Copies of this chain bind each other. A is one copy, B any other.
């Protein structure tokens, strides 16, 4: 095999009451990533997009993830990576995770190293370290495993694949910049125990609702009294987006990752499309550029295409 092409999906992390642990994978958008072996002991990065992401492998999430993988196998060769990003950097739907997960999955297939998904997720988390300053797996996990995932622990890494019913999502990406560091900085250091109990009761209930396919329970569980009240101020018209989406039949939803994207869950593709229209209506006269995605939640993470 000379090269391997993979598709690495966008992902939504946090998922309302599942802050810092829950996430799910979308069918689209996805990044296209090709990896090939080169004789030189270096990592070369080629971007086929307009985003001007760094090509210095030490400053690129895919480069950092691949470096940790090559070091682990004591490689005496290098890799060339071509990335076509369809997931806009900074959108809050796992753009950096898609790059790092896609790169390591492609390299693993190319080199026949047969790492487990958990090991590959661990390499990819080094990319997250570069992107956000922490070895988070909340987007890496759903990107690698697909479907709904729960990160029980980052160190040591423990990822739980959750059972879930057929679900669709509508995501709006307002093209404003929210720095992950800023979104982190405004979080409270401490929370009232009562609020924490409410949050974990909802999260436990959400996991049960997904396993049972109980959509009314899922809807009742999609409540966040800790992070959303603080972060929604960073997203123009957040309350209006939510209100219009609920009126259009959304089960619930909230901020994707640390924003600015906002996602809503729906039980059918038709409803997800109506939600996307409702979101579009809210943003139409906002003066803010935006785009909207509708996608099923899919069981496959990074997919090896050829």
Write the residues of chain A forming the contact surface with B, with a CB cutoff of 8 angstroms: 17-22, 150-153, 158, 160, 162-163, 187-193, 196-209, 211-212, 217, 220-221, 226
Q: How far is the CA of A134 from the CA of B176 in the complex (A)?
A: 46
What residues on B are CB-neighbors of A211 within 8 Å? 163, 207-208, 211
Q: How far is the CA of A187 from the CA of B188 in the complex (A)?
A: 19
A-B contact pairs, 30 of them (CB 8 A): A18-B204, A19-B197, A19-B200, A21-B197, A21-B200, A21-B201, A22-B204, A150-B201, A150-B204, A150-B205, A150-B208, A152-B204, A152-B220, A152-B221, A158-B205, A160-B217, A162-B208, A188-B193, A189-B193, A190-B191, A190-B193, A191-B191, A196-B196, A196-B226, A199-B200, A200-B200, A200-B203, A203-B203, A203-B204, A204-B204
Known: A150-B205, A190-B190. 7 other contacts (CB 8 A): A17-B200, A19-B197, A21-B201, A189-B193, A191-B191, A196-B200, A211-B211
Residue of B nearest to A202 (CB): B152
Residues of B within 8 A of A204 (CB): 18, 21-22, 150, 152, 160, 200, 203-204, 206-207
Closest residue to A163 on the B side, CB-wise? Answer: B211
Interface-central residue, A21, A163, A187, by most chain B CB under 10 Å: A21
Task: With a 10 A CB-CB cut-off, give which of A22, A187, A198, A207 has the most chain B CB atoms.
Answer: A207
Q: Collect the chain B residues with CB atoms within 8 Å of residue A207's CB.
A: 204, 207-208, 211
Distance in angstroms between the alpha carbons of A203 and B151 in the assembled complex: 11
Which B-chain residue is minimally distant from A158 (CB atoms)?
Answer: B220
A189's partner among B21, B192, B201, B206 (CB-CB below 8 A) is B192
**Cβ B200 vs Cβ A151 within 8 A:** no
Specify which chain B residues have a CB less than 8 angstroms from the CB of A158 in the assembled complex: 205, 220
Closest to A19 in B: B197
| Contacting residues, chain B, for A220 (C-beta < 8 A) | 152-153, 158
In the bound complex, residues from chain B placing their C-beta under 8 Å from that of A192 are 189-190
Closest to A159 in B: B205
Question: In the complex, are the beta carbons of A160 and B203 less than 8 A apart?
Answer: no
Query: In the complex, how many angstroms separate the beta carbon of A127 from the nearest chain B beta carbon?
Result: 21
Nearest CB of chain B from residue A255's CB, rounded to whole Å: 16
CA gap between A159 and B6 in the complex, in Å: 43
Q: Are B163's CB and A201's CB within 8 A?
A: no
Cα–Cα distance between A205 and B217 once the two chains are bound (Å): 18
Cβ distance A137 to chain B, nearest Cβ, rounded Å: 11
Shortest CB-to-CB span from A144 to chain B, Å, is: 17
**A193 with B226: in contact, given A200-B199, A200-B203, A211-B163 (CB under 8 Å)?**
yes
Name which residue of chain B comes closest to A209, CB basis: B160
Partner of A201, one of B153, B197, B201, B202: B153
Q: Cβ of A203: which chain B residues have Cβ within 8 Å of it?
A: 200, 203-204
